[in-house]
Amino acid sequence: MFDLLSYLLLIVGIAFLFLFFYCLTVRGSSLALPFSLICVSAAIYIVGYSFELRADDLETIRFFLKLEYFGVPFISAFWLFFTIRFCKRKSPSTVLILIVMIFPLLSLFFSVTNEYHNLLYEDITTFLHNGNLLVILHKGPWYYVQVVYAYLIQFYSIASFYKIWKKDRFQRKTQAYYIFVGSLWPIIFSSIYFFGLSPLAIDLTPYGLSISAVFFFIALFRYRFLDLNETVKDITFMEINEGILVLDEKQHLVEYNKAASKIFPWLERNQIGSALIDSPVVREILGQSIDFFEIAIPYKSGLRYYEFRKTQLKEKRRPVGSVYFIQDITNQKELFLTMKDMASYDPLTKLFNRRKLFEEAEKEMQRSRRYRRKISVLMADVDDFKNINDRYGHQAGDEILRRTAEVCKERLRSTDIIGRYGGEEFMMLLPDADIENACSIAEEIRRHIEAMVIRYNEVPITTTLSIGVSTAAELTSDITLEVLIHNADVALYQAKAEGKNRVVSFRQD
């Protein structure tokens, strides 16, 4: 049984050595050094104890006890440095390092020279159990100092990692959770041994470290707590107003800050180390081939606009990840759209203004010419509009124009184009509409305007509309937008001359 336990510890010791060498390969992380020292200290202690369990005489046991002290007292010191760097996001001061390191160095010295003063162990005795030579350590005064020192550091570290885990809302799949839980086992097992509850006086601390190794492997390789540490652990990173997402080279989430979690409410700490959720927004972000782009993200309150700046992270010219800086530009975007609308739309009727109307109409003319489609133009004019302004006032006239624009737009197709041509005149462009279709639509508009009653200052006001229609069955090179507008104008003047409130189509003489 003891051979099995010894081999198990040897495997765990080798695992810690692997972690040590792996940490040496990590660049740009201030956590790598203290964690690597923890791993090598634990490896020396565990491997030494594994050979102690297999020793056949007292001298060999004494030798491996001294070997263990090249590791065991230093674990707590390096763990404290690691805790400060991870939880406080700062490096321990030189004074603190010197003070903390005094205790493990004294423990190592007292271990090597114990036979001269017995400060660490007053006596070391052995006994046989099923053919295995086991040891009983009679503790000296420095041993208790060493235990108090180690326990104070471990309790401080456990409390610190607990606070970090609490900030993560006690999510289980996080870096802080695995390091917090991993740090519990050594103190639990060492307490059982210290208070004499361990069977056959076996030191259980190495077995506690064995369980810790499992949690450390998960935190290191699943949640990548060493990767990109300097970028993601700085306090300014967490508090900056600009949203930040840090991804590794496999597009797995490494870290994000508070601002990013407000932009993406679905972000959770348990996603660190995993691929981002599959959603149209995420696919759009990750699918961008440029480093500077804008994306509109829908929320219950409406669309919000974000500006993304992507920066690639490299180590020795090798890509190791990327950082997305995210800025909310909704106010600027809405201002821009408002200004764009002001430049393109008539503020009274909310229809295209003359410039935008001609711009969109020319585009449609080109499409119709390319695909050899027929097209029609309607020119509509509010009858006796000057009289309305003179009799009821300009505000009443404005309301007439607004309601007329609404009626016209409601009765057009989504592919049709309408705009305010000028004054009380409106122009409509109807793709794929022949003369019969165009006249039918124009007549429907005319009837609705005739039936429309507007109450202004409790006074009912009615009006009528005259509409001229021109059509091109096929757009040839000599039929331009200007020609169609001119022909529709001719028809409109004819409608006015014939008594108004009517639809007249242009007829080529």
How do residues 44-98 score in pLDDT, each as one tens digit?
A: 999 999 999 888 899 999 999 999 999 999 999 999 999 998 887 778 899 999 9
Region at 387 (left for phi over 0; alpha for psi -120 to 50; beta for the rest)? alpha
Pairing type for strands 302-315 and 292-299 reads antiparallel
* Residues 6+ away with beta carbon under 8 Å from 285: 295, 308, 324
* Contact predicate 250/273, CB 8 Å: no
> Where would I find the H helices in 345-382?
354-370
Give the CA distances from residue 3 to residues 51, 55, 397, in Å, rounded to whole numbers and listed in that order.
Answer: 10, 10, 102
Query: 246 CB contacts (<8 Å, ≥6 apart)?
Result: 228, 231, 232, 253, 254, 255, 256, 313, 321, 322, 323, 324
Go through the domains of the chain in sequence order and give each one's CATH number. 2-226 (1.20.1070.10), 231-334 (3.30.450.20), 345-505 (3.30.70.270)
Backbone angles phi, psi at 484, to 5 degrees: -65, -40
**Which residue shows structure tokens 């002290």?**
69
Helical pair 32-53 and 2-25, crossing angle rounded to 10 deg: 160
Q: What is the pLDDT of residue 25?
A: 84
Residue 164 structure tokens: 């970090």
Name the nearest CA neighbour of 142 among 192, 187, 99, 104. 104
Spatial distance between the Cα atoms of 202 and 271, rounded to a whole number of angstroms: 40
Under the banding of pLDDT at 50, 70 and 90, the label for residue 231 is: very low
Specify the amino acid at residue 245. Answer: L
CA distance 416 to 457: 34
- Write the Ramachandran bin of 196: left for phi over 0, alpha for psi from -120 to 50, otherwise beta: left
Q: What is the pLDDT of residue 32?
A: 86
Token pair, residue 294, equals 């804008």
Using pLDDT thresholds of 50, 70 and 90, give the confidence band for residue 230.
very low
* 229 pLDDT higher than 50: no
First vs last C-alpha separation in the chain? 114
pLDDT tens digits, 333-372: 888 877 877 788 999 999 999 999 999 999 999 998 888 8
What pLDDT shows up at residue 227? Answer: 59
Instruction: Tell me the pLDDT band of 447, cut-offs 50, 70 and 90.
Output: very high
- Report the range of poorest mean pLDDT among 154-158, 276-280, 355-359, 427-431: 276-280
pLDDT per residue over 281-337, tens digit each? 899 999 898 999 999 999 888 889 999 999 988 766 778 889 999 999 999 888 887
Residue 236 has pLDDT above 60, yes or no: no
